[in-house]
Amino acid sequence: MNQINDIEEIYIDNYKIVYKYLLANSHNKDVAEELTQETFYRAVKNINNFKGDSKISSWLCQIAKNLWLAEIKRNKHFKEIDEKDIVISDYDVLASEDKINLYKKIQQLDTETRDVIYLRLSGELTFKEISEIMNKTESWVRVTFYRGKEKLKLKENIENERKQRL
C-alpha cells in the first residue's frame, strides 16, 4: 500500500473520533469541522514525526487539542459555553434549562473529569474511544465518568437543600 492510501485509511478510520472530540470541546459543528480538517492537514504535513509509541487516534487528538487551545486563545468567546451552541445527545431528554444548568456544573469539575463527561455526553463517544483519545485505560475513563456523575449529583443535592431552607 502506498503512502497516499495509508493517509486515506488513517482519515477514514479516525475522522469520526477527531470530529467528536472537537465537537465535545467546542460545542460548535462548524468549528469542529474546520479544526478536524486542520488536524488532518497538520497530520499529513508531520506524518514523519509520528513515532508509533501511541495509537494514531491519540496522536491526532493531541494535534486537535493543540489546535483547539489555539482557537480558544484567538477567540475569547470559547472560554464560556455559549447556550445556543450546546450540542446534546439525541438520547438526552433534559429540558433546555436543565441542560444549561448541567453544563454550568460540569464546567466546575476538574479538567480531566470535565473532558470525559463532555466526550461521553456531547460527543457520544464510547468509553473505549475516550480512553484512546485521552491515552488512559478504559477502566480509568469509566471510573472518572462515574465519579464525575456522583460529584454532579452531590452539587445538585446541595443546591436543592439550599432552596428548601429559603
The pLDDT tens digits for 92-109 are 334 455 667 777 888 888
* Range of the structural domain that residue 72 is part of: 3-165
Residue 141 has pLDDT above 80, yes or no: yes
Burial of 63 (0-12, 13-18, 19+ CB in 10 A): buried
The predicted pLDDT at position 164 comes to 66
C-alpha cell at 61: 487528538
For residues 114 and 102, the answer to whether their CB atoms sit within 8 Å is no
- Residue range 26-59, pLDDT digits in tens: 878 888 899 999 999 999 888 888 877 777 888 8
pLDDT band at 5 (very low <50, low <70, confident <90, very high): low
The predicted pLDDT at position 89 comes to 39
pTM: 0.55
For residues 140 and 40, what is the distance between their CA atoms, to the nearest angstrom?
Answer: 28
Number of domains in the chain: 1
